[in-house]
Amino acid sequence: MRVIYENKVLAVGEHVQDFRVANMLIIFGASAPAELKDYCYLVNVNPIDGDIAAGDILRVDDGFFKITSVGAEVPVTLKGLGHCTISFTGETAASMAGTIYVEKSKVPALQVGSVIQIIKYK
């Protein structure tokens, strides 16, 4: 087991609930455009130590979610901007390039200080 990505929530946008009802959440580096900040969980821009792939685990605080699909742009936007959408729909084919899909589940409630990790078991 190896953590390949880790971050902490620095701020919670006023309208993050708008995306929770659509079974998703959005993280973005602190340099997020002003028009998007209210819809995101703001995080630092942190490196990724490996490739994110289906079968890896997304950990949000004490919740663990199996990754089912990864959009092609995720490594670029996550590493460069701290930006990624996480969809809790269980889709196995990434229909949105900047999205990590995880097993179908209720979207966790993040708060300032919440820890987000991606864990590789291989």
Q: Over the stretch 21-43, which tens digit does the pLDDT of each residue have? A: 899 999 999 888 988 999 999 99
**Lowest-pLDDT choice from 24-28, 66-70, 118-122:** 118-122
**Mean pLDDT on 107-113:** 95
Q: Over the stretch 38-59, which tens digit does the pLDDT of each residue have? A: 999 999 999 999 999 999 999 9
> What CATH number is given to the structural domain containing 107?
2.40.33.40
- List, in order, residues 6 or more apart from 122 with CB less than 8 Å away: none
Residue 70: domain span: 2-120
Q: How many CB atoms lie within 10 A of CB 47?
A: 9
| Helix, strand, coil distribution of the chain in percent, nearest 5 | 15, 35, 50
Q: What is the pLDDT of residue 37?
A: 92
Work out how many domains the chain is built from and give that number: 1
- Taking Cα atoms as reference points, which of 49, 46, 47, 95 lies closest to residue 68? 95
